[in-house]
């Protein structure tokens, strides 16, 4: 093993740790927003250990193809409902260790079976992922001034042309041989 191999492994580990920190930060931001919107918790204080533990929600999001918002809504909603009989729940309703464990994942899976009996969440995830990979997830069109009644035909023509162009681009991407050969677990093709 050469010195260059050791450096490349260290660089790889450094990149993986940075990616994990970025994902944990995204989960933390979504968690704070959801807790404020759905449960009315204004100040959510999280220790670094709790932030690392919430990384499990991101893993579940990738594994089951649902949003982190949905996971938090289901798991924290269940925990707060369970503890509301005894006392008014603070923050999550129970320890974060319990909300990121195997039983919480089983609760999430049972709720997913109720909410999505035919696997609609996977189809939605697949289409969002395809559009993101092709580049169709960006905002479409330009901001237009108020409609001019004399150019209405031109506006409708351009709108239809844009819709047709987008549909052709999506069809070409879906039928591409290069994309259909991808057989990994999270492939949207």
pLDDT tens for 101-127 read: 999 999 999 999 999 998 888 888 888
Of 117, 134, 162, the residue that ends a domain is 117
189 found inside a domain: no
Question: What per-residue confidence (pLDDT) applies to 4?
Answer: 64
Judge if 40 and 101 occupy the same domain.
Answer: yes
Question: What per-residue confidence (pLDDT) applies to 150?
Answer: 63
141 against 30, higher pLDDT: 30
Q: What is the pTM of this model?
A: 0.66
Q: Do 52 and 59 contact (CB within 8 A), yes or no? A: no
Q: Show the tokens assigned to 1.
A: 């093993």
Tens digits of residue pLDDT in 136-182: 766 665 555 555 556 777 777 878 888 888 888 888 877 777 766 66
185 found inside a domain: no
Judge if 75 and 32 occupy the same domain.
Answer: yes
As a whole number of Å, the end-to-end CA separation of the chain is 39
Judge if 111 and 131 occupy the same domain.
Answer: no
Instruction: Give the other-Cβ count within 10 Å of 53's Cβ.
Output: 19
Judge if 85 and 155 occupy the same domain.
Answer: no
Q: In angstroms, rounded to a whole number, what is the distance separating the alpha carbons of residues 100 and 87?
A: 22
Judge if 21 and 102 occupy the same domain.
Answer: yes
136 against 28, higher pLDDT: 28
Tens digits of residue pLDDT in 35-90: 889 888 888 888 888 888 888 998 999 899 898 999 999 999 998 888 766 666 66
Q: In angstroms, rounded to a whole number, what is the distance separating the alpha carbons of residues 73 and 104?
A: 12
186 against 69, higher pLDDT: 69
Overall residue count recorded for the chain in this entry? 189
Judge if 111 and 130 occupy the same domain.
Answer: no
Judge if 45 and 22 occupy the same domain.
Answer: yes
Judge if 130 and 162 occupy the same domain.
Answer: yes
188 found inside a domain: no
Judge if 91 and 131 occupy the same domain.
Answer: no
Domain with 84 in it:
3-117
Question: What per-residue confidence (pLDDT) applies to 107?
Answer: 95
Question: What per-residue confidence (pLDDT) applies to 109?
Answer: 94
Question: What per-residue confidence (pLDDT) applies to 148?
Answer: 59
In 3D space, the residue among 180, 143, 146, 141 whose CA is nearest the CA of residue 160 turns out to be: 141
141 found inside a domain: yes
Which residues fall within 8 angstroms of residue 20, CB to CB, at 6 or more apart?
A: 55
Judge if 113 and 134 occupy the same domain.
Answer: no
Of 117, 145, 161, the residue that ends a domain is 117
Instruction: Give the other-Cβ count within 10 Å of 69's Cβ.
Output: 16
């Amino acid at each position: 093993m050469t010195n260059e191999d050791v450096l490349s492994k260290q660089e790889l580990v450094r990149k993986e740790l940075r990616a994990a920190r970025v994902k944990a930060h995204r989960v933390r931001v979504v968690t704070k927003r959801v807790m404020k919107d759905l449960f009315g918790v204004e100040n959510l204080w999280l220790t670094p250990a709790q932030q690392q533990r919430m990384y499990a929600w991101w893993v579940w999001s990738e594994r089951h193809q649902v949003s982190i918002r949905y996971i938090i809504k289901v798991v924290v909603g269940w925990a707060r409902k369970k503890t509301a009989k005894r006392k008014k729940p603070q923050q999550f309703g129970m320890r974060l260790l319990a909300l990121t464990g195997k039983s919480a994942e089983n609760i999430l899976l049972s709720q997913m079976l109720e909410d999505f009996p035919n696997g609609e969440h996977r189809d939605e995830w697949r289409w969002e992922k395809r559009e993101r990979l092709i580049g169709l997830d960006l905002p479409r069109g330009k901001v237009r001034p108020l409609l001019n009644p004399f150019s209405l035909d031109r506006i409708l023509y351009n709108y239809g042309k844009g819709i047709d162009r987008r549909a052709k681009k999506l069809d070409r991407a879906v039928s591409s041989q290069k994309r259909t050969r991808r057989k990994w677990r999270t492939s949207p093709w």
